[in-house]
Structure 1
Amino acid sequence: MLVLQEPVQAAIWHCLNQYAFSDAVFLAERLYAELANEDSVFLLGTCYYRAGRVNEAYWLLSNAAPTRPNARFLLARCAVDLEKLGDAETALSGADTEFGDISPFALQLLAHIYCCTERRSKAAESQLKALKINPFLWDSFSQLCHLGGKVDPDEIFQLSNVKNLSACLGYNNNVTSTLNVENLPPSFNSPKMTPVNTTLSTAAMGEAITPDSVVPTSRLRSAFAPTTSPFSPSFGILPLEQTPMQYAPTLTDANERKANNFMQPVRNAVGQLKEVFSPIQQVRRSTRFSSNSYSVKENNKSPHRKSAAPKSPSRKNKSRITKVNPNKISIEPTEINRIKESTDRVVTATSTCNVVRQSSEGLMTLLRAIGEAYLQLAQLKCRKALVLLDELPPQHHNSPWVQSLIAVAHHELAEYESAAKHFAIVRAAQPLRTEYLDIYSTCLWHLQREVELSALARELVNRDRRCATAWLVAGNCFSLHKEHDTAVRFFRRAVQLQPDRPYSHTLLGHEYVATEETDKALACFRSAVRLDPRHYNAWFGIATVYSKQERFRLAEVHYRRALAIHPESGVLLCHLGVVLVALGQPKRALDTLDRAVAMDPTNPLCCFHRASVLFSANQLDKALEELEKLKDLVPKESLVYYLLGKVHNKLGNSHLALMHFSWATDLDPKGTSGHIKEAFDPARAENPPDTVL
C-alpha cells in the first residue's frame, strides 16, 4: 500500500499541536514502518519525546545516527534528560556553525552541559553566543548573570545586532506566516493602525522590503511544496493549485518596465502606479487596447491641411481595430484589479513588517530595563535593583514575576517583613506558583511565623509530593519548631528530588550545624559551592562551621569570600566582626560592625554584637545607648536584657542590673540563669564575662 508522506506528516503535527500525543505516536509509527528515512525518524522521536517517552526517543535517534541539525538537537536533549552528557555534547558538536536557525537553542543546551561538568567559563561563552544570535532568549541572559559573566543589557538587547529577525521570531524563510496585526502586544509601543489580517513573506521581517518579499496569492497557496524543510510542522500541508500572476503584457516597452517596478518598496509604489495610468503617447499593437483614429502622415508645410483619407482596413483585421484616442488609454478592469491588489499587498506587507519590527524594538527596550535590574540583583546589588524594578511600567512592576524579584531583593537585605509582604502579593495573584517559595519560607522562619509556615508547607506537600520546593518549605517548618531530625529528613528528600539545586544542600547544611554534625554540614556546603561558586550562603555556612570549631582564621577567610559575592550584607559583616573579636582585633571588629550597622541600622543582630564589642572595649556609655535602642527593636529578646544587666552592673547600678537580669530570666529561664550568676561572680565563669559576646 502506498502512503503519501506529506499528508501523514500534516496529520501528525496537527495531533502534536493539539496535545494528542497518543494519536501522534500511533501515526508516526505507521509512517516510520512505511518509510524508515531520517524525516520519519525525527518525527517519531519528537512524538516519543513530547509524550514523555524519553528513553524510546533516545534509543531510536541514537541508532539512526542522524545528520540533520534538528534530529541531532533532539538526540542531545534526550541525552541530557537521561544524564548522558557525553553523548549530548557529541551530538551538539558544531552547535554555533552547523545548526542554522536552531543554533542559539543548541548553544543553550551546550552551556547547560558545560555547567554540569564544571566548565563555567565555556558555559558563559556559549550563552553569550546564543544571545548574540537571538536576543529574545531571556534564560541565556539570566544564566549569564548568575555565572558572573560580564553582561551589558544595553548591548545585548539590540535589534541592530540581529542578522536575521525572522529566525529569532521563529519564522522559516522558506515558509510564509500569517500575522494578525490586531493581536500584536499593545504594550510594546506598536504604532496605531487599522487592524488587518494579512499574509506576507517572513523573509521581509529582517530585511528591507524587496520585490521578492511580497508573495502573490498563488505562491502563498503553494508555499508548502515538497521542497519545504521536512522539520517544520508545516511540512505536511499539500500544495494547492498554482496560478501564477501575469502583469500588463499589453503596454509599451517603457510602460511595461514601469508596471514591473510596482513591487518596489511602498515609497515608490504609489508614484509608479500613477505612471502606469498616465497618458500614453505610443500605442503598442495589442488585442487588449484599441484606438479611435488611424495613423496619419504629418504635413509640416501646412498644419491646417486635412490629412488624406486612410486606406480602408482589410476585412480580415477589421474586427481587431477600433478607434484610438492617443490621450486616453483604456485598461481592462481585470488588469486594474491585479495591479491594485498587488499594490495593496505591498502596502499591507510593509505596514505589518513595520509593526513587527517596532513591536520587537519595544520588547528590546523592556528587556533592557528588566535586564539591568536583574543583573544588579544577580550581582547582589539589591538597593539599586529595587530602584530599577520600581521604575518598570506598572503592568510589569505589578506582575508576579517582578514582585517575586522585589521580595528576593528584600530577603537578601535581611528585610524579611518587606519580603514577606511582596511574597504574599504574589501568592494572592498566583496561588499555585512555586517559584521562590523556598525563599519565602526562609523569611517566615526568620520572622518566627509558625502558623503561616505550617500552612504553606502543608499546602505544597499535599499538592505535589515530588516538588523539591515543597520539602524545603516543610524542612524550614520543622526547623522552626526545633524538630531538627525531621527537618534533616525533609531537606534530604529535597536534595534527592533536585540534586543540582544549591539552596537545598545549603539548608541541609545549616540544619546539620544546628545538630552539631559539623562534618556533614561541611560536606553539604561544599556540594552547594561546587554547584554554584557564587552561592554566598554556602560560603557563609562553611565559615560558621569553622567559627564553631574555633578555627577563626579559616572562618575569617570564608566570611570574606562570602562578602566578596554579597558586599551589601550587614549580616555577613556582623559575623566577620565577631570573628575579628575572637582573633583579638577589637578595633577592626568595631569598624566592621559600624559598617554593618550603617548598612542595616534596624538589624538586631548587628546592633547586639556592636554593643557587645563596645562593652568589651569598656565603652559602657555607648554600649548602654546601643542596647536601649535595641530593646525597642526586640523587646522580647532575653540576651539584650542580660547584656544590659551586665552594663549596669559594671557601672555600679546594682538595682538596675538586678532588674534586667530578672527580666532576662523571665523571658528565657533556662538560657540565662547560669549567666546571671556569672555576671555577679566572675570567678565562677570559665571565661570572664567581659569577653562573652
Structure 2
Amino acid sequence: MAFSGGHVGSQLRHFIYYHLDNNMIRNALFLAERYHAHEPRSLEAQYLISLCHLLNGEMKSALEFSEPAAGRGLHAGCVYVYAQACLDLEKYLEGATALERSKPLWATKNNWNKHSETQRQHLPDAAAVYCLLGKLWQAHKDVNKAVDCYVNSLKLNPFMWDAFTGLCATGVNIRVPNIYDLGPDLRAMINSTPEEADTFTDVLSPTEGALRSNRSAASDPFTVPSSRADPEGTYGSSALWEKFNGSSGMETPGNPNNASGSEDFRIANSVPGPDSASEPPLAPTRKARTIHTMNIDQSGHPPPKMKTTGMRKIKQRTESEEPSAGPIDREPPPAPRVGDRKRTVSGQVAHPQQHPVEPGAPQRRSVRLLSQIKPTTSKFSSTTLTGKDGREVKKIRSTSGKPRTATVGRVVSGNRKPIESSDPDGKEPRAASVPINSGVPPVPKASERTKELVALDALLGLFAKLASGYFSLNRYKCPEAISHLNSLPQEHRETPWVLAQLGRAYFEQAMYTEAAKYFSRIQALAPNRLQDMEIYSTVLWHLKNDVELAHLAHHLLEVDRLSPQAWCALGNSFSHERDHDQAIKCFKRATMLDPEFAYAFTLQGHEYVSNEEFNKALDSYRQGINVDNRHYNAWYGLGTVYDKIGKYEYAEHHFRNAASINPTNAVLICCIGLVLEKTDDFRGALVHYERACSLAPHSVLARFRKARVLMKCQEYNFALADLKILKDIAPNEANVHFLLGKLYKMLHDKPNAIKHFTAALNLDPKAAHFIKDAMDEWEDDDMEDDDMA
C-alpha cells in the first residue's frame, strides 16, 4: 500500500523526537532516513536527519544533509546544525556566513522560560545562535565579532555559560554584576510566559480563538504578518514585550482600556464595547444547561448580568405553561422562604433570585409578564438602554480582560460573602461584587509569580558569584577569585568544578600545597573526572611527589586512554624522572588527541628546553600561542628560550607579553627584571624586583634578586635589610647565606662574613670552591655571583 497524505510524516517526526528524547540516537537516525525518503523535499526531514548525524558524531554527514537548506537560509534548524558541523570541521568562516545569512530566521526568537518537563522548543533561539556564532568568529580569530555575539547572547539569556566563558577568553573587561541582574528585561520574560499569553485563547473554541488572534494581529502594529510570523517566541520588539506585560500603557487585548486591541477582542466575543450601538447584538440560541452551567455561554464566558430592581417578584408558573419558542434555561425550584428572604442550596439567606439577561436571547416568561405590569416604583428610569420590546436594560459592559466585578443576586454554593437584603420599600438592593471569571482558567497567582521571581533572583545571585570567581581567575586576580568562590553556599562550594577553580587559583600563586588539597578532594568526589587534572599533575611535579604523580597518571589512563589530560600527567611523571624524551612523546600524543590543547604544547616546549633543543621548543611554544593567544605560559617559554640564546630584546618582549596577560605573577615580573639586569639596566631591574616583592612578599627569588641589584647599586643597607628578611623566610638556602657573606665582606664585617660563608658551605658542599674563593679574596666577583644565582 502506497504512502499518502502528511500523516505518515507527522508520525515519523513524533517517533524521531521520541527516540532523541530517550537518547536512542541510532534508532532516531534510522527513522530520520525513512522520513527523508518519504519527504525528500521537506526541510523538517533534512533538519532531523542532519541533526541525528550530528548527535551520532558523523559531522561530515550532518554537513552534507544540512547544506542545501543552510546554504539558502531556508530552515533555522538546518543552518544551526550546519554551523555546528562547520565548527567541528574547522570551516569557521562558512559556518559563520551561513548563520549571518539566515539571521531573519532566528533573530526574533527567544525560548526563554518555554522549556519544561512536558514541552520544549526544538529549534534554536537567538541566544543559542549568537553563542555558536561567537565561537565560530573566535575560532576564525575575529575577536571583535566574537565579543559582539557573546554580548548579544548574554543579553538574551544570562545563563548561557558558554557565552560568558567565551567572552572571558577574549580578554575584554566585563562587569559581571550587570549581567546577572534581575532587571526589567528578565522580569518581562518571566511575566510573558506562554501560559499567560494563551490565557484568553484557551477558553475559546478553536474557530473563535483563530478569529480573535487573526483580528488582534491585524490591528497590532508590532505583530509580524502571518507570512513571516515567528511561531516560537516574541523576542525582537521591546514594545511587544511591554504589551504582554502591560507596563507601558499597552494592555493585553482583553483589557478594555487598550485602544488597539480591545475592539478586536469585543468583536470576537460578541460583547458590546463602550462605543457600540444602543441595541446589543443578538447572541446565539441558548441551549439547555444544568444549574451549574446556566451562567456561562458557549464560548466559556459568563453573560453580562443586570442589577436587580426593587419590584416585587412575580410568582413563577409551572413548566407546562412556558412557551415553546426555543430552549431556555431551566430555573431551579424556589427555595423555602423565611419572611421576605429565601435560602440557597447551601442554606445561606440570599436576595430574591435573579437571572442574567443575555442580549438578544428569547425573553423569559417572567420578563414578558414584567413588561405587561406597570411598575409601582420609578426605579426603572435609571436604565440607559431600551430593548426592542420597550423594556429598559442597563448598559452592558465588556467582561473581557482583567477580572471585572459584577453584581449578582443569587448566591451559589461556596459563596459565603454576606449580602445585604433588599429594602422593603422597593429600593434597589446592594448586591455583592464578585469577579466574573467562572469561565476563564485561573491565571498564575501573585504568590506563585513572586516565588518564581525570588527563585530567579537567587539563581542570578548564584551565577553572579560563580561568574565573578571565574572572571577574576581568568584575569589572574587569584585572591579575589578565592574570595568569590568561598562565598558560595556549601553545597555548591563542594562541587568538582568549584574545587578545580580554587585549586587553579592557588596553583597560579605557586601555593602548591594548598592547590594539591583541593585537587585531592576532587579525586575523592569525582574519581573519573579528567578536566583540570593536567594542572594537578603539574602541582605534584612541583611538590616532587613522584609516587602520587605516577598513580595519577595510571589512573587517568584507566579512565580514558584517549584523553589529553592522561597523557599530560604521564609526561609530567616521565619529566620528574628526568626522562625527557619519553615525556616529549607523551606530550606529542596529547596534542595529537586534541590539537586545541594549548597546555600540552607548552609542556612539550619545556622538555625541549631541558634537552637544549631550542628551535623545537620555539615551534612548540608558537603552536600553543596559535591555539590560545592568551596562554601566558607559552609566551613565558618563548622569553626563556630567547634569554638562554642571548637575544635579550626578544626575551624582554615576550616576557612583557606574558606579564600583560598575567600581571599578578611575580615570576614573570622577575624575568623582566632579570633581562634588564643582564643589559646593565639596574634601576629598571630594581623597579620590577620591588613590584614582584609587593606581589609576592614571601617569594625567595624576587627578594634575592632585589638584594643582589641593591648591592650592585651600592645600596648596602637596603640590601642587608632584605637579606635578613630572606634569611628568616628561607633559613636553609645556601645562596642566601653566600650573598650575606659577600655583603658583610663589603661592609668590612669579617666575623659575620665568615659566619655566613661557613653556613653556605655546610648547606651546599658542592659549591665549596666558590665559597672558599670568596673567603680568601675581598674583591667582588660578578661572574661567580651570577653562577651562584
TM-score, normalised to structure 2, is 0.66
Whether 1:157 and 2:180 are equivalent positions in the alignment is yes
What aligned pairs does 1:539-688 form with structure 2 within 5 A after superposition?
Answer: 539-617=635-713, 626-627=722-723, 629-630=725-726, 633-634=729-730, 637-640=733-736, 642-643=738-739, 646=742, 651-653=749-751, 656=755, 659-666=758-765, 669=766, 672=767, 675-676=770-771, 679=774, 688=783
CA offsets 1:187-242 (integer angstroms, 9 cap, x no match): xxxxxxxxxxxxxx9989994388789xxxxxxxxxxxxxxxxxxxxxxxxxxxxx
Following the alignment from structure 1 to structure 2, what is the Cα–Cα distance between the partners of residues 357 and 160?
11
Aligned residue in 2 for 1:45: 50
Asked if the contact 2:79–2:102 (Cα under 8 Å) also holds between the matched residues in 1, the reply is no
**Which of residues 402, 408, 414 in structure 1 aligns to 2:504?**
408
What is the SS of the residue equivalent to 2:654? helix
Cα deviation, residue 161, structure 1: 5.9
Asked if residue 246 in structure 1 is aligned to residue 299 in structure 2, the reply is yes
Matches within 5 A, 1:263-412: 284=357, 294-295=369-370, 296-299=373-376, 328-329=409-410, 345-348=442-445, 352-412=448-508
| Distance across 1 between alignment mates of 2:577 and 2:442 | 70
Structure 1 position 165, deviation (Å)? 6.5
In structure 1, what residue type is equivalent to 2:154?
A: L
Matched, 1:531 2:627: yes
Tell me the equivalent position of 2:217.
none
Q: Does 1:56 align with 2:152?
A: no
Deviates most, 492-501 or 61-70: 61-70
Partner residue of 1:480 out of 576, 598, 613:
576
Identify unmatched segments of 5+ residues in structure 1: 177-200, 214-243, 256-276, 302-325
What's the TM-score, normalizing by structure 1?
A: 0.74
Query: Hey, what does 1:105 align to over in structure 2?
Result: 128
Where do 1:51-130 residues align within 5 Å?
A: 51-63=56-68, 65=70, 67-94=74-101, 97-99=104-106, 100-101=109-110, 102-130=125-153
How far, CA to CA, are the matches of 2:163 and 2:512 in structure 1? 30
8 Å Cα contact 1:289/1:329 also seen in 2: no
CA contact (8 A) 1:96 1:104 kept: no
Asked whether the 8 Å contact 1:166–1:173 carries over to 2, the reply is no
Cα pair 1:376 1:385 within 8 Å, conserved: yes
1:139-190 deviation digits (Å, cap 9, x = unpaired): 21121122112322222223436479769999799999xxxxxxxxxxxxxx
2:443 alignment partner, SS class: helix
Q: Aligned residue for 2:601?
A: 505
Please say if residues 132 and 161 of structure 1, whose CA atoms lie closer than 8 Å, have aligned partners that are also in contact.
Answer: no
Identity %: 29
Q: After superposition, give the CA deviation of every residue in 1:21-55 in whole Å (9 maximum; x if it has no partner).
A: 22212222222222221111211222222222222
For residues 772 and 726 of structure 2, the distance between their equivalents in structure 1, rounded to whole angstroms, comes to: 23
Contact 2:528–2:559 (CA under 8 A) maintained in structure 1: no
Of residues 201-210 and 472-481 in structure 1, the stretch that sits farther from structure 2 once superposed is 201-210
CA contact (8 A) 1:645 1:660 kept: no
Q: 1:26 aligns with which of 26, 30, 35?
A: 30
Task: Label 1:686 to 1:595 Cα distance change in 2 as closer, same or farther (>3 A).
Answer: closer
* Residue deviations 1:510-544 (CA, integer Å, cap 9, x gap): 22222212222222222223333322222222221
Could you tell me whether the CA contact under 8 Å between 2:305 and 2:408 is conserved in 1? no
Deviates most, 679-688 or 519-528: 679-688
Q: Is the 8 A contact 2:192 2:241 kept in 1?
A: no
| Separation in 2, partners of 1:175, 1:43 | 29
CA spacing shift, 1:392–1:245, aligned 2, 3 Å: farther
In structure 2, the CA distance between the partners of 1:330 and 1:662, relative to structure 1 (3 Å rule), is: closer
SS at match of 2:74: coil
Which residue is 1:183 aligned to?
none
> Over residues 273-319 of structure 1, what are the superposed CA-to-partner deviations in whole Å (9 max), with x where a residue is unaligned?
xxxx9988785277898869952323469xxxxxxxxxxxxxxxxxx
Q: Which runs of 5+ in 2 are unaligned?
A: 111-124, 200-231, 235-239, 255-296, 309-349, 379-406, 415-434
Q: Figure out how many residues of one structure are paired with residues of the other and give that number.
A: 588
Quote the Cα distance in structure 2 between the aligned partners of 1:664 and 1:500.
Answer: 45
Cα separation, 2, equivalents of 1:558 and 1:38 = 52
In 2, Cα distance between the equivalents of 1:555 and 1:478? 28
2:137 paired with 1:132 = no
Alpha-carbon distance, 1:617 to partner: 4.6
Distance, in Å, in 2 between the alignment partners of 1:109 and 1:126 is 8
C-alpha spacing 1:673/1:517, structure 2 compared with 1 (3 Å): farther
Does the CA-based 8 Å contact 2:568-2:600 persist in structure 1? yes
Distance 1:297 1:144 in 2: 82
Question: Cα distance 1:144–1:288, how it changes in 2: closer, same or farther (>3 A)?
Answer: farther
Q: CA RMSD in A?
A: 4.1
Taking the aligned partners of 1:691 and 1:486, their CA distance within structure 2 comes to 32
Q: What corresponds to 2:121 in structure 1?
A: none
Q: Which amino acid aligns with 2:140?
A: T
Map of 1:494 onto structure 2: 590
Shift of 1:115: 1.8
Greater Cα radius of gyration, structure 1 or 2? 2
Tell me the CA shift for residue 69 of structure 1: 0.8
Q: Whole-Å Cα distance in 1 between the matches of residues 611 and 193 of structure 2?
A: 53
User: Partner amino acid for 1:652?
Assistant: K
Comparing 502-511 and 612-621, the one that deviates more: 612-621
User: Residue 183 of structure 2 aligns to a residue in which SS?
Assistant: helix
Q: 1:278 to 1:505 in 2, by over 3 A?
A: farther
Partner residue, 1:469: 565
Change (3 A) 1:559 1:300: closer
**CA contact 1:289–1:330 (8 Å) conserved in 2:** no
Asked if the contact 2:737/2:756 (under 8 Å) is kept, the reply is: no
Tell which deviates more after alignment, 102-111 or 90-99.
90-99
CA 1:688 to 1:297, structure 2 compared with 1: closer, same or farther past 3 Å?
Answer: closer
Post-superposition CA distance 1:482-532 (Å, at most 9, x none)? 211111111122222222232222222222222212222222222223333
- In 1, the alpha carbon distance for the partners of 2:299 and 2:154 equals 44
Q: Which amino acid aligns with 2:374?
A: K
Superposition deviation, residue 608 in structure 1: 2.9
Residue 468 (structure 1) shift: 1.1
By how many angstroms is 1:14 displaced? 1.1
Shift of 1:76: 1.3
Tell me how far 1:13 sits from its aligned partner: 0.9
Would you say the 8 A contact 2:196–2:443 is kept in 1? Answer: no
Separation (CA, whole Å) in 1 of partners of 2:437 and 2:768: 96
Indicate the residue corresponding to 2:393 in structure 1. Answer: none
Q: Which amino acid aligns with 1:149?
A: V
Distance 1:299 1:278, change over 3 A: closer
